[in-house]
């Protein structure tokens, strides 16, 4: 995994549908830490994650990865950044394993097997996602975290639909990412139980 020190949001302003969502937001996010974007429904949490992922252009401001402006390093960005959006992009007609192979074409059979086992998805390996429950489909989407060596994880509501065991499993995966020097920025309306999160607050 590539090693970095910080991701800096400098004076970021976001507008959507002619509404100001955030104005002049500046944050220095340190690798090895988890940042939770907090705010009411509609405050702009998902929009901010999209801006960081390079999927939405801010009206103002810049993002730096260490001392490089991200715009200039865009060709490097997708390799180092894993974004899992709210609509987490699982293909419902494909099986669990086919979905994983779509997103992680280079993953070995052993690693896929191990990820599926940890996520309690092994019995469903050859089942189309449309036949799974919402929580199981969410686990399929999250399996990319088990196969990722990206330094930056941007996760929109990763805990939604997960049961107690699934939440604990995901929190321990996030802890591993922090321990190996990665950065996690996520949105969730729930408190994290095991991880000391730094807050990025958005107000309406
Ligand atoms: N594609 C879009 N076009 C125009 N406006 C949008 C679009 N998507 C979201 N918005 C608006 O941007 C605002 C912020 O939306 P966003 O999804 O970022 O909020 P959020 O804080 O993540 O909300 P929630 O907690 O409900 O998930 C909302 O007022 C919403 O109506």
- Architecture of the domain made up of 6-201: 3-Layer(aba) Sandwich (3.40)
If you average pLDDT over residues 75-99, what whole number do you get? Answer: 86
What is the pTM assigned to this prediction?
A: 0.94
Radius of gyration from C-alpha coordinates of the chain: 17
Rounded to the nearest angstrom, the distance between the alpha carbon of 155 and the centre of ligand 1 is 16
pLDDT in tens, 3-19: 999 999 999 999 998 88
Q: Are 49 and 83 in contact (CB under 8 A)?
A: yes
Provide the β-strand partners of residue 16.
Answer: 19
User: What number does the ligand 1 atom closest to the CA of 16 have?
Assistant: 5
Distance between CA 17 and CA 92 in Å, rounded?
30
Supply the mean pLDDT for the chain. Answer: 93
Rounded to the nearest angstrom, the distance between the alpha carbon of 121 and the centre of ligand 1 is 32
Look at residue 110 in the predicted model and tell me its pLDDT.
96
Q: Which of 13-22, 30-39, 108-117 has the lowest mean pLDDT?
A: 13-22
Between helices 134-146 and 109-118, what is the axis angle to 10°? 130
Tokens for 87?
């609509």
- pLDDT surpassing 60 at residue 177: yes
- The residues spanned by each domain of the chain are 6-201
Look at residue 72 in the predicted model and tell me its pLDDT.
55
User: What angle (nearest 5°) sits at the alpha carbon of residue 70, between those of residues 67 and 76?
Assistant: 105
pLDDT band, residue 191 (cuts 50/70/90): confident
Tokens for 161?
């639909």
The residue whose CB lies within 8 Å of the most ligand 1 atoms, and thus the one to mutate among 41, 45, 203, is 45
Q: Is the CB of 123 under 6 A from ligand 1?
A: no
Q: Is the CB of 43 under 6 A from ligand 1?
A: yes
- pLDDT surpassing 90 at residue 76: no
Rounded to the nearest angstrom, the distance between the alpha carbon of 141 and the centre of ligand 1 is 22
How many Cβ atoms sit within 10 Å of the Cβ of residue 51?
A: 24
Rounded to the nearest angstrom, the distance between the alpha carbon of 160 and the centre of ligand 1 is 17
């Amino acid at each position: 995994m590539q090693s970095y020190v910080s991701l800096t949001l400098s004076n970021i302003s976001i507008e959507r549908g002619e509404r100001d969502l955030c104005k002049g937001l500046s944050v220095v996010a340190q690798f090895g830490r988890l940042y939770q974007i907090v705010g009411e429904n509609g405050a702009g949490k998902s929009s901010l994650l999209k801006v960081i992922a390079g999927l939405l252009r801010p009206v103002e401001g810049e993002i730096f990865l260490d001392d490089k402006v991200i715009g200039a390093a865009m060709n490097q960005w997708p390799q180092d950044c894993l974004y899992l959006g709210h609509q987490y992009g699982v293909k419902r007609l494909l099986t669990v394993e086919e979905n994983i192979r779509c997103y992680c074409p280079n993953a070995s059979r052993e690693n896929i097997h191990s990820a599926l086992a940890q996520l309690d998805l092994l019995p469903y390996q050859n089942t189309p996602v449309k036949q799974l429950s919402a929580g199981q489909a969410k686990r399929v989407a999250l399996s990319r975290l088990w196969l990722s060596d990206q330094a930056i994880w941007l996760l929109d509501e990763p805990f939604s639909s997960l049961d107690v065991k699934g939440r604990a499993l995901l929190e321990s995966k996030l802890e591993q990412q922090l321990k190996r020097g990665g950065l996690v920025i996520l949105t969730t309306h729930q408190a994290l139980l095991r991880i000391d999160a730094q807050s990025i607050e958005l107000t309406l």
